[in-house]
Homo-oligomer: A and B are copies of this chain.
Amino acid sequence: MSRPLILLSNDDGIQAAGLKALAEAMREVGEVVVIAPEVERSAMGHAITISDPLRVKEVDLGLDGVSAYACSGTPADCVKLGLLSMLSRKPDLVVSGINHGGNTGVSVIYSGTVSAAAEGTILGVPGLAVSVDAREVSSFEPTQAVAYHVARGVLDHGLPSGTLLNINVPALPVEQLPAGTMNGQGYVLTVHGKSDWQDHFDRRVDPNNRVYYWLSARKRVVSEVPETDEETLKAGRVSITPLHYNLTDYKARKTIASWDLFSKPK
């Protein structure tokens, strides 16, 4: 029987240390092919390229047995291109990351990391998004261990169609993580929370006297329900959130149904 085929991508770009760390971990699980943006594509949301062609270049990540390609497109483009054109067979998993920085709450909406995993899910392959909660990371080892165990779990159990897992790992040294973390135990099955960003724009004037605006943001933890992604992460535990892309707001639908605008139910 052939080994599982795993497609990797990210949004920090093909040269990111987190991507290489993920490839190292996934190499223990199956055959790994990497297709990632040639440059950083953070905060791309679920953008895809429809008006321009995509170009691809093979690169050497210095990992035996791992083939890797830099792509001119977005994270979602990379996964779409891999699944629909470049890979010789349908992969068993799409794994995105390791993102340098957590993807929780409202950030999930803007995240290129999550969108790459979501593209896998949309095209019928279980998707995992993996992030570590710091821009600068001294060791990817705990996140690698988590990614390994969750990937194994998904290959063993399968995921429901349309579901992806959004995995966030605290940026703590191994010895400060809860017992079991490195062995694939004690993770928290969380819900997508409402933590957001306190955004503002700096209005500035350039040397040629033209106005420009620069986005600046600070994370705000919002606690509305127990077991959110952000709170679990901040408590030093691994957060795993099952996400889907049925965006219907059923509760609002009931509220709104009484408006004059709508046909009355038969």
Interface residues of A (CB under 8 A from B): 40, 42-51, 53-56, 76-77, 80-81, 84-85, 106, 108-110, 115, 118, 122, 149-150, 153, 157, 159-160, 162-163, 184-189, 191-192, 194, 196, 199-201, 203-204, 210-215, 240-253, 255-257, 259-263
Contacts and interface: CB of A to CB of B under 8 A. Distances in A.
A247 B215 contact: no
Contact of A48 (B45, B122, B186): B45
A42 B50 contact: yes
A118 B259 CA distance: 22
Q: Which 9 A-B pairs have the closest CB atoms?
A: A45-B46, A45-B45, A244-B249, A53-B212, A242-B252, A163-B252, A85-B201, A243-B247, A242-B249
Contact of A212 (B48, B55, B184, B255): B55
Nearest to A106: B122
The oligomer's copy count stands at: 2
A40 B81 CA distance: 23
B50 A43 contact: yes
A245 B160 contact: no
A94 to B, nearest CB: 15
Nearest to A263: B186
A40 B122 CA distance: 25
A48 B43 contact: yes
Given A200-B85, A240-B261, A252 B184 contact: no
